[in-house]
């Protein structure tokens, strides 16, 4: 009897390990950051993000394209039927890229069991196209730690840490408010360490306390979405961050095309609009 139990238990464990191994092998992991060989060229012309609101009624999607690159400024969506996805596919087929780049980190996904768009947004769709065609995928974005440190000349470390923790929530709120906003930001508390503020932000209660310091009259951070202008100093920080990110974007495209790569880059429409002057 015990031999059978041990035998069946061993089989069960072997099957579970095999399944977990298979999932690990086929699962999508977040694309690596593309590392520039040289720093972005400060002479490249971009639209400063602080001026973007004056042009915010531009056409969408906003596309910047040349012979060997497409910068696809698409809507942020988790709707598999969104019309921008069809255009992404058309542009992908036209370019037949050798390198793909997406905005930010995509996260974990198990193909066939999870829908790439519903779970990862439009970036998941580009990842799906890239996997089908055997094209490497990177994120064009700055690493979060590098971005945080680059902001230290203009903002306090406490301000930077608070924004780093809450930015993912501000971006995700457009897709619906999570059942527990506190649980949502919990994994991002560690970002405070980017600027040596980990002792200041140990709990969600610490975030609440610091938020009230800067926004005593509100709003509650739980109601803030970056679809609209962020309150207080966060607006200026977002503008500074996007300028840094946009220069990174330009540098990545120019470096890769100089290596004779055909580059398909996905970003939000505001990024595409702001970098367009650098490619004229």
Please give the pLDDT value at position 3: 57
Count of domains for the chain: 2
pLDDT tens per residue across span 129-156? 999 999 999 999 999 999 999 999 999 9
Quote the percentage of the chain above a pLDDT of 70: 89
Angle, helices 233-258/157-172, rounded to nearest 10 degrees: 80
Domain that holds residue 13: 1-28
Please give the pLDDT value at position 18: 43
141 and 18 within one domain? no
140 and 3 within one domain? no
- Could you tell me the end-to-end alpha-carbon distance of the chain, in angstroms, rounded to an integer? 78
Chain-centre distance for alpha carbon 148: 15
At residue 117, φ and ψ (nearest 5 deg) are -80, -45
Contacts of 146 (CB under 8 A, 6+ apart): none
Give the lowest-confidence range in 37-51, 102-116, 150-164.
102-116
pLDDT surpassing 70 at residue 271: yes
Alpha carbon distances (Å) from 74 to 17, 99, 217, 265:
40, 18, 35, 10
pLDDT surpassing 70 at residue 108: no
Chain-centre distance for alpha carbon 121: 10
258 and 162 within one domain? yes
213 and 152 within one domain? yes
**What band does 217 get if pLDDT is binned at 50, 70 and 90?**
very high
227 and 102 within one domain? yes
Please give the pLDDT value at position 78: 94
236 and 155 within one domain? yes
Entry pTM: 0.86
pLDDT surpassing 50 at residue 26: no
226 and 122 within one domain? yes
The whole-number average pLDDT for the span 70-80 is 97
What average pLDDT does the structure give for the chain?
90
Other C-beta atoms lying within 10 Å of the C-beta of residue 42: 6
pLDDT tens per residue across span 220-246? 999 999 999 999 999 999 999 999 999
207 and 97 within one domain? yes
40 and 98 within one domain? yes
89 and 1 within one domain? no
């Amino acid at each position: 009897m015990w031999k059978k139990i041990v035998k069946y238990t061993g089989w069960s464990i072997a099957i579970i390990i095999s399944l977990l191994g298979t999932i690990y092998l086929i699962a999508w992991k977040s694309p690596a950051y593309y590392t520039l060989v040289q720093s972005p060229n400060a002479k490249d012309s971009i639209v400063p993000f602080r001026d973007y609101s004056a042009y915010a009624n531009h056409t969408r999607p906003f596309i910047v394209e040349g012979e060997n690159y497409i910068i696809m400024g698409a809507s942020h969506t988790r709707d598999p039927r969104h019309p921008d996805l069809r255009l992404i596919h058309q542009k992908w087929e036209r370019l037949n890229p050798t390198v793909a780049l997406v905005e930010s980190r995509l996260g974990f996904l198990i193909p066939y069991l999870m829908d790439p768009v519903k779970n990862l947004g439009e970036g998941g769709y580009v990842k799906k196209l890239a996997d089908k065609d055997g094209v490497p995928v990177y994120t064009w974005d700055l690493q979060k730690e590098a971005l945080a440190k680059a902001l230290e000349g203009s903002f306090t470390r406490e301000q930077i840490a608070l924004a780093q923790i809450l930015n993912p929530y501000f971006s995700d709120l457009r897709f619906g408010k999570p059942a527990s906003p506190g649980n949502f930001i919990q994994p991002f508390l560690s970002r405070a360490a980017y600027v040596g503020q980990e002792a200041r932000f140990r709990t969600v209660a610490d975030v609440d306390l610091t938020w009230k310091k800067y926004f005593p009259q509100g709003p509650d951070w739980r109601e803030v979405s970056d679809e609209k202008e962020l309150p207080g100093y966060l607006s200026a920080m977002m503008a500074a961050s996007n300028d840094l990110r946009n220069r990174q974007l330009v540098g990545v495209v120019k470096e890769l095309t100089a290596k004779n790569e055909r580059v398909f880059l996905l970003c939000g429409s505001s990024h595409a609009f702001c970098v367009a002057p650098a490619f004229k």
